[in-house]
Chains A and B, each alone.
Chain A
Amino acid sequence: MTSRRTALGRCTQRRGAPRTARTVHPRRRDRRRGATTIAALLALATGAAAQEGEPLTEGEPVAEVAAADTAVTRAESEHWVVERYVTPEGELLEVGGLDWMPDGRLVVSTRRGQVWMVEDALADDVRDARFSLYAEGLHEGLGLNVLEVPDGDGTRHALYVLQRGELTELRDEDGDGRAETWLRVADDWGLSGNYHEFAFGLPDDSDGHLYLSLNLGFLSPEWWLGRSVAEYRGWVLRVDPLTGETTPWAHGFRSPCGLGFDRHGRLLLTDNQGDWMASTPVYAVQRGAFHGHPASLDWTPDYLDNGLHASVEQPSEVPRTPPAVWVPYEWSRSAGNLVPMPETFGPFTDQLVMAELTNGHLMRVQLEEVGGVVQGAVLPLRQRVGSVVRVAFADDGTLVGGLTNRGWGGLDPADGLLRVRATGTPPTEVDRVHLVDGGFEVTFTEALAPGLPVGPETASVLQYDYDYWWEYGSPERHQTDVAVAGASLSEDRRTLHIEVPDLRAAMCARVTLHDVVGESGRPLLHDTFAYTVNQLADGSHTDELVAKTVPPPPPRQSGKEGWLRLSYGDALDAWESTGWSLVDADLDPDDRSTFRVTPGVNALVNVGHGSPSHYRSRWDFGSGTYHVEFMLPEGGHSSVWVQGRYAIELTDDTHGLPEWSHGTGAILRSFDESTPARPPRADAYTGAGHWHVLEIDFEAPRFDADGAKTDDARFREVRLDGAVIHEDVAFDMPSQLGLGGPGDEVSLGPLVIAGQTGPVALRTLEFRPDREAQPSTEGWLSLIGGDDLAGWTHLPPEAAGSEDEDPSWLLEDGELVGEGPASWILSPKGDYTDVSVRASVRVNDGGDAGLLLRAAVEGDRVVGYEAQINTSFADPSRTGGLHGVAPVKVELVPAGTWFDLEVDVTDEPDGTRVRIAVNGVVTTDHLDTSRRFASGHVALQQHHEGGVVRIRDLRVKRR
């Protein structure tokens, strides 16, 4: 293939002469390899005729762009001729901007940074149009405007092109037909270098300002969330081309590809479906307003002044301006600009043409104001013409369209120019749609046939709305057929009144007209329009929007899910203590200031000879709810220390309270005594010898990256036997005599119950950590994709199932279920080294299973670092421990209850660290100095027949 020499530096053409002498490559054609095969095979299989269009050939006169004709597009072609320009051989015009010179030449700018002049663009024969290169070497050119500007006492026409990073005026000062002078007009916006940061434009308002819009960036790792990492990404800017002064105009956009003014001076903008954009919106842009995508809020004064960053995953509280029109998904995924229709184009009143580049449609959009809000209708005009992204009208009513879809795909043709002209046979179409009180008024381009029956069956109405959320696009929600009560025709038979009394605001309406025929005898060319009902026309007003914020995911199921039982089963395993025993206890009848203990399992008491220690948890906890059940003897005293630092007093008051005491439930005074003890708000303590439940909703202190505290520890609420005894207490320092010292605060710390200050009995000790409702999935890849286990290996191989045997492991509704006799299942990839795995797990009563990391087959077993999954099976090693190495014996999770398990394996200088967390609490932190397992699979074990283990949302993260 010959090298592509551009004629950079060579301009042998006179102004206006067609370009010829260039060494070029053969023009590329559409390539359809595999698709043809599959389509043909499918056709064979189903008997349907494969739909294939003729690829477009260059150089031949084309009256029609005939890509995949349908009945409708054939009918459209009777009214609108679409012709394709012949672009210079070897050149690819990926159009980004279109405008007209005063001398009638068409100017075209492209994504390749070229600007072309087209002479005779309106010649009768489209092949007579002549292209000459005016400029090249620009950094894209996705907007262009030829603007009349003051020049001394008169005016001149200036040619502005919008590059990715600059608004530039091009001038040909030496008159050789090439713009050798590039004047920088404005570049006051940010570029981070992200590929997606296009700049689009470039309409002008009646004061001669130019408008441009800037895309967000899509960056790794969460590349599905648009971000505004450089100045004014996601904004519309207004530029005074004479001074370069740039004014931020509006924000809240994502990929705002099309800008244009309508005849009423409204700036209209199309954005692209994606995150926070349910479908393709057409906005009537409001100056200074937020239009929906939160990323660009970062550049508003509120956010800038306070150094805030808007979340791109949580909806913002900032009021948003809704789109005037939502274009239904089947008509558009990506739209370009809108341009008002001149009367010379067709029989339409006060409406616009919109470019659509994925389906390749030209659409009609019409707007009105209802209840002070801009809204309106959209419907097709001329479909499947190619990936048109820019449209502009010539004075004679010719519509010129520029094409491109490189990088995202769409209907071919994917580049070049086309023009659309009326054939002279006007179509029978819906002209204007107005929302009126109680329904719609639809005006047609001609009177309808006399005697045409008109009634409720003439129209059907479907309403729907969308979700407003970070997820990519939204399906139509709440689709509802709305009854049409009646329909009537005006006397001149040009206006149909459709009664839809139950029409709702803040929803779109898809209206289909049936059996409507014009007096010409032609049926309606397009029978369906979509109207966005932001407000009703009956004088009511709603604050709701069509795209409704979706409620957050439902909270975790109530009940025991999410709790960790710290004293169940092996009651002492989760605690460091000496002198405590599991016994039965009640008040000693002979000495009610102490307990009588007998062998049993109902209480933990610090009965030890010598001096018992405090009862201190083995593990460290943070924010969450602590549940401590206690019993005091007469005059007894103890205390409960959250994180070992924030204390609630437990003092029995049978014989009165000592001077320093404030009773059971009091918060002890602070370390430096600056904050006195706080007595409980209510007197809920009912005396010695009774069991009481103390619950503390605790919020751990927060620290910044340097370890300085940013938020105090807080008791959100403290309850004694259900009664609220404290609410919203902040600790500027720990309680006196807490662990560490006055300044020693931590995000995770042990739960300690004082055991050195007198006898105290404990029983149910539980903790429910605060968890995120939806933990981030950033960097976490799901191990279970699709609904089968392709790629997973079984050991023994029979566990994969056969004709006689069910498989031991299968996927049921997204849950991996393991049953049957002992078996293992290994992940497809076996090269995990430093890795984290997390899942929600549930095991039945008597079941036993394991989650292994760095697993490999050894003989007839699978070995690796095994996180135990066991509630009640005889094996003393329970959930939360590292099997065989660092077991956990307490029964943290009840049988049949979902819990979250996370296992991290990391190579460290002195060994391999294995961390296991249950419901977010680290219960195993073990260093394997022998480095037994270097790498391997993720595996799951099913231990014995009768056990059933279920795993949901199994995800892995390489580190």
Chain B
Amino acid sequence: MSRSPEAPRRRSPVARPLHRARPTDGRSAPAALLAALLLALVTPPVRAQSTDADAPVADVGAADDVGAAQFALLCARCHGLAGDGKGAEVLDRPARDFTAGGFSFGNTIEAISRTVSFGIPGTPMPSFGEALEPDVVEALARHVRTLAHVTEDATEEETILRVDDRPVALRGGLPPITEDAPAHPRGLLLGLPGGLTFEYRVPDLALLGVRLGDLAKRTDWTGRGGSTLEPLGRVVWLNGAGAPDPMTWASPRGPTEPVTAELRAIRTPASGATLTWDALAPDGTLLARVTEHVAAVSSPLGAGFARTLVVDGLPAGRFDLFQAASPGAALVEYGKRSVVAREEGGVELVTATWRAGDDQTDGEVLFATSPRGARLAFPSDGRRTFTLLTLWPAAWEEPATPEQETQLRATLDAAHAAALPEVDR
């Protein structure tokens, strides 16, 4: 809606009705009444009934005057001056009684503005969008809401959720985690004490990213509801730019197929948050029952997070699990650990440990790194526990001596051990 500098805009400053004078127009008497009331409305109103002293009073001033004036001019003829539906106009059905609530498309400013602009096709409610400027439409909508006694929405602050001292699961729609990622109508935020939030899309339980900060704003507690959550934490780790690849599985002599993860349960006891899910083949065959723990980690090296997967697999074959490196990073391969330079500085250090049953090691498990991230491949029968530890050391130096290497390994082993949930011991 740009305005050409060449074409001057001229508007009649006063909106006057342009009826041809009709001597038999029976509305002349109420018109005078309306005019008197209109005059009364544009002067500061006397409050006939006191409202609560602590109720914040919005800026009623000029905007309300415009809304009230336009309402009297355009709307009162059908909806009545009090908005009670008792206007003079004869319609095939009663005009909406705003005082009784129950708006056709919602009572938010946005919904009422849209109804005023477009009308309601198929009903006597006309469209006013081309006759009124947007700010006038909004003033009208605000005025209509006062007639309808719409209770105040939850304020910004009221919708902000923060995690206290136990983990929290939050279900809701998720907005795109990055610009190019999609929104997810079925989403999950697992918030841990200390400020880490794990963001999942529910249909395949892909971990989209990890955030640090407050949990989320429940915007769907306002208006008509149904809007997405607004995660509040800053994204500190992103899995494959927010649209990760699924885990795969291959039977001993078969092709590699993507695995569907189907949620079974979310648990948030004080001891930590877990997801239980089934790994399914494309044809629906159950491949494994998985329990996924997420935890915040702090170690002498730095802070980070751990994902522990307890996999109870069934058929012979191999799983392949991938955890992407944060985007924009260069990878240096270290065999049992991957070190990735982060865009915002520092490195991302990913290490993995695993156990099969009571064994501490398992030669059939492969942990490898690639330019895209870290990969775990393992047999799909039996029970194995994996922990993927992602740390962000503030300062990093490659160990130069065997002693430094040993020291680093010990630190990491300790961090791994601490990250394992008690349940699994």
Chain A positions within 8 Å of B, measured between CB atoms, are 1-11, 25-26, 28-42, 45, 50, 52, 92, 111-113, 137-140, 163-166, 173-174, 180-184, 187, 191-198, 218, 223-224, 274-275, 329-330, 333-334, 357-359, 387, 405-412, 414, 469-476, 777, 781-794, 800-801, 806-807, 809-812, 826-831, 833, 854, 856-857, 933-936, 956, 958
Contacts and interface: CB of A to CB of B under 8 A. Distances in A.
Given A180-B267, A809-B18, A791 B11 contact: yes
B19 A788 contact: yes
A41 B264 contact: no
A165 B100 contact: no
Contact of A165 (B127, B186, B223): B186
B55 A29 contact: yes
Nearest to A137: B170
B104 interface: yes
B226 A32 contact: no
B10 interface: yes
B50 to A, nearest CB: 10
B170 A35 contact: no
A794 B104 CA distance: 36
27 contacts: A9-B165, A10-B165, A29-B52, A32-B49, A42-B82, A139-B172, A184-B264, A191-B173, A224-B122, A329-B94, A405-B101, A407-B223, A408-B102, A408-B106, A469-B122, A471-B122, A472-B120, A472-B121, A473-B104, A785-B74, A785-B130, A790-B15, A790-B131, A791-B131, A794-B12, A828-B133, A831-B2
Contacts of A31: 51-52, 55, 149, 151-152
Contacts of A330: 94
A35 B146 contact: yes
Contact size class for B?
A: 35 or more
B193 interface: yes
Interface in B79-100: 81-83, 92-94, 98-100
Given A139-B171, A224-B121, A936-B7, A52 B49 contact: yes
A786 B74 contact: yes
A198 B224 CA distance: 11
A809 B19 CA distance: 10
Contacts of A45: 33, 36-37
Given A29-B52, A137-B169, 13 more contacts: A4-B160, A8-B163, A28-B151, A34-B147, A39-B48, A137-B171, A165-B186, A198-B226, A474-B93, A782-B129, A785-B130, A790-B18, A790-B73
Given A4-B160, A409-B107, A782-B126, A810 B20 contact: yes
A37 B47 contact: yes
Contact of B122 (A183, A472, A830): A472
Given A52-B49, A810-B18, A782 B122 contact: no
Nearest to B44: A37
B129 A409 contact: no
A137 B151 CA distance: 23
Interface string B137-162: 00000010011111111110111111
A180 B130 CA distance: 54
A928 B259 CA distance: 60
Which secondary structure dominates chain A's binding surface?
loop
Interface string B333-369: 0000000000000000000000000000000000000
A831 B9 contact: yes
A800 B11 CA distance: 13
A423 to B, nearest CB: 27
Contacts of B92: 475
Contacts of B423: none
Interface in B102-129: 102-108, 114, 117-123, 126-129
Contact of A407 (B9, B120, B183, B225): B225
A385 to B, nearest CB: 14
Which secondary structure dominates chain B's binding surface?
loop
Interface stretch (B213-221, B284-292, B294-302, B305-313): B213-221
Interface string B168-185: 111111000000000101
B100 A410 contact: yes
A35 B147 contact: yes
Given A30-B149, A857-B10, A827 B130 contact: yes
B83 A790 contact: no
Nearest to A28: B152
A39 B186 contact: no
Contact of A472 (B104, B106, B164): B104
Contacts of B161: 6, 8
B400 interface: no
A137 B4 contact: no
B40 interface: yes
Contact of A833 (B2, B129, B172): B2
B151 A412 contact: yes
B381 to A, nearest CB: 26
A411 B148 CA distance: 9
B166 interface: yes
A140 B220 contact: yes
Given A9-B165, A36-B48, A410 B12 contact: no
A828 B130 contact: yes
Contacts of B45: 34, 37
Nearest to A221: B118
Contacts of B107: 407-409
Contacts of A414: 151
A36 B131 contact: no
A184 B133 CA distance: 49
A411 B263 contact: no
Contacts of A35: 82-83, 99, 146-149
Contacts of B83: 35, 38
A490 B224 CA distance: 52
B130 A33 contact: no
Contacts of B385: none
Nearest to B102: A358
B168 A9 contact: yes
